[in-house]
Amino acid sequence: MTTEPKLDIVSLNIRYGEKAALRNLSLSIPSGSIYAVIGPSGSGKTSLLRSITLLSVELDQARLSGKILLDGRDVLAAGVDRATLRRKVGLVMATPQPLPGSIHHNLTFGPRLAGQTQRQELDALVEAALRSADLWAEVKERLNGPASALSGGQQQRLCIARAIALSPEVILLDEPCSGLDPISTAKIEEMMRALQTRFTWVIVTNNTKQAARVSDRTAFVLSGELIEDGPTSRIFTTPTDPRTTGYVEGRFG
Amino acid sequence: MSARLFTPVRAQLVARAVLWSMMSLALGILALVLWFVLRRGLAHIDWAFVSTAPLDSGRGGGIFPILVGTLEVTLLGVATAAPLGIGTAIYLAEYTKEGRLTRAIRFGSECLAGVPSIIIGLFGFVLFVTTLRLGWSILAGALTLALMTLPLVIRTSEEALKSVPTAYREVALSLGASKWQTMLGVVLPAALPGIFTGLILGLGRAIGETAALIFTAGSSLPHQLPRSLLDGTRTLSIHFYQLAREGISADHAYATAAVLVLAISFINLSSSFAMHRFMRRYG
């Protein structure tokens, strides 16, 4: 554990006007792992993810202080190019959000803006991303069909494939399975594990069982504060804080 | 007894009957107008009428130069209002925060919408016809129409942009798009059907406009096709007005009105058809 963390969050504060969404939060997310952030809704988990890619700053008028170090470089420093940052750090929303247009268009939207214009390269990229997200077999016949025609679970895997198509280093998932059935959920969890070495995953979830199933490390956040974090097996068996015990045992939240 | 009279089921029946009557009345009025104009006009429309120039102040001949002039004034007017209006709408919806400035812009645009078209016509006369020396011309008329349709285009475009789900913007930004790329690549295409509807409404309003054009496009009868945008023209509705008011030819007046009504119907139908096809492809 002496290697430098992929994502190092140091004393992060997120405020919306007068309201603090996250207070003095510090997390170290190791490279090539699955990191779960659990906690009841309203505890600031989504704000955390939206802040890592500066989306909260751009759209929600959030004010951030502290440090978000990606490979040691502060995302909050002046002069950080947001587009470059977002190509490195993918974000998948809670409800599947395909863009209007075809499956192919959804996958090539990002790469095209990043400067990829060769039709063949794009096609290869589409196939690779869909294979990674375990969706290729289901959609290869209808790549030019509307993405909105896919089922909810397929749409969410499409959204993950869309993030993968940009070859990110980190993928942030915001309760990716909250609206999905158990089978779709299992597919996404399998996929995360299969791709664990390629990306660093951060998954925010309300579902403690999901965190226990997929993640290597877990952080428990309550009302904007980090209660404790550590290896998932320890958090779920011998947590040090009584509030964590209460939450993972399902006594509140 | 009265409590019994209005059971929910009965209230439902009454509501349905009342709403249905209102709908049929509205539709009936439309049908009546169409019938009235077409019954008197259609009989006098033939190929010669729409393809030849007028003779003898409009007693004889056709309306071809007038038809072409009308289309030029209207299309040019809407084509001018479109970029201005859509640009303003994008600015209002995406590039400013709600505040005093946006409220002022919106209020100004509403006021512009409320100005009677004859006043707009007078303004167009002073600005375009005399000050800018465009004379009574297609260009002056089109620019005046642009002013008139601008508020409508701004309003409908802004609504269309606002109805695009926020999630599209979030997704596009998350995929590395800049704000402008998000606008151009995602938001604008999604808003296009709504924007297009606004433009068509503007077109429908502009093509029948009379008062704003008498002072700007002119009302003298053209005997040949306009050769440039600086030529004056008489539009269909002005032609109708002149023929009817001066008692020149009731038959040709109604025939002109019928052509105008048919042209508007054609524009509306074909554009809604085009939009459906677009929607299906874009999905």
pLDDT tens digits for B191-246?
998 999 899 989 988 998 889 999 999 888 888 888 888 898 999 999 999 999 99
Partner residue opposite B168 with nearest CB, options A95, A99, A114: A99
> What's the pLDDT at B282?
59
Please write the tens of the pLDDT for every residue from B21-36.
Answer: 999 999 999 999 999 9
Nearest Cα residue in chain B from A103: B283
pLDDT of residue B271: 84
Q: Chain B 154-173, CB below 8 Å of chain A: which residues?
A: 165-173
Range list of β-strands (E), A132-216: 170-174, 200-205
pLDDT above 90 as % of chain B: 67
Report the pLDDT value the prediction gives residue B283, as an integer from 0 to 100. 52
Give contacts of A 71-90 with B, CB under 8 A: 82-84, 86-87, 90
Task: Let me know: does A61 contact A245? Beta carbons within 8 Å.
Answer: no
| Interface contact flag, A101 B174, Cβ < 8 Å | no
Interface contact B174, partner A, CB < 8 A = yes
A162: nearest Cα among A233, A91, A58: A91
Are residues B283 and A90, on separate chains, in Cβ contact within 8 Å? no
- Show the tokens assigned to B168: 């599209």
Close Cβ partners of B110 (under 8 Å, ≥ 6 residues apart): B151
**Residues A12/A64, Cβ–Cβ less than 8 Å:** yes
* Residue B180 to residue A140: CA distance in whole angstroms: 32
Residue A251 distance to chain B (closest CA, Å): 34
Phi, psi (degrees; rounded to nearest 5) at B190: -70, -30
CATH of B49-282, one of 1.10.1040.10, 2.60.110.10, 3.40.50.150, 1.10.3720.10: 1.10.3720.10
Residue A1 has a pLDDT of 47
DSSP tag of B185: I
Chain B hits for A114, Cβ within 8 Å: 176
Run of H or E including A221: strand A217-222
Three-state DSSP class for A68? strand
Q: Indicate the domain borders of chain B.
A: 2-44, 49-282
Q: Give A166's DSSP letter.
A: T
Residues in CB range of A191: below 8 A, 6 or more apart: A132, A133, A134, A157, A160
| CATH numbers and ranges of domains, chain A | 7-248 (3.40.50.300)
- Is the minimum CB–CB distance between B101 and chain A shorter than 8 Å? no
The Cα B42–Cα B196 span in angstroms is 30
- Look at A110 and B177 and tell me if their CB atoms are within 8 Å: yes
Q: B280 pLDDT exceeds 90?
A: no
CB contact under 8 A, B190 and A93: no
Do B236 and B70 meet the contact criterion of CB atoms below 8 Å apart? yes
B173–A114: do the CB atoms touch at under 8 Å?
no
Structure-model confidence comparison of residues B5 and B144, the more confident one: B144
Which runs of E-coded beta strand occur in A75-137? 89-92
Pairing relationship of beta strands A7-16 and A19-29 according to DSSP bridges: antiparallel
CB A115 within 8 A of CB B186: no
Give the span between the Cα atoms of A25 and A3, in whole angstroms.
Answer: 21
Residue from B96, B163, B171, B175 to probe the interface with A (highest A Cβ count within 10 Å): B175
Residues of chain A with pLDDT under 70: 1-3, 253
Å from B282 to nearest chain A CA? 5
ipTM of the assembly? 0.93
Chain A: residue nearest B176 by CA?
A83
Cβ distance A93 to B171 less than 8 Å, yes or no, reads yes
Nearest to B206 by CA among B81, B111, B78: B78
Amino acid at A113: L
Q: Is A196 on the interface with B (CB under 8 A)?
A: no
Closest CA to B164 of B151, B183, B137: B183
User: Does A179 contact chain B (CB < 8 Å)?
Assistant: no
Q: Is A144 on the interface with B (CB under 8 A)?
A: no
As a whole number of angstroms, the distance between CA A95 and CA B165 comes to: 13
- Hey, is the C-beta of A95 within 8 angstroms of any chain B C-beta? yes
pLDDT for position A206: 87
- In this predicted structure, the answer to whether residue B79 has a pLDDT above a threshold of 50 is yes
Confidence of residue B7 (pLDDT cuts 50, 70, 90): confident
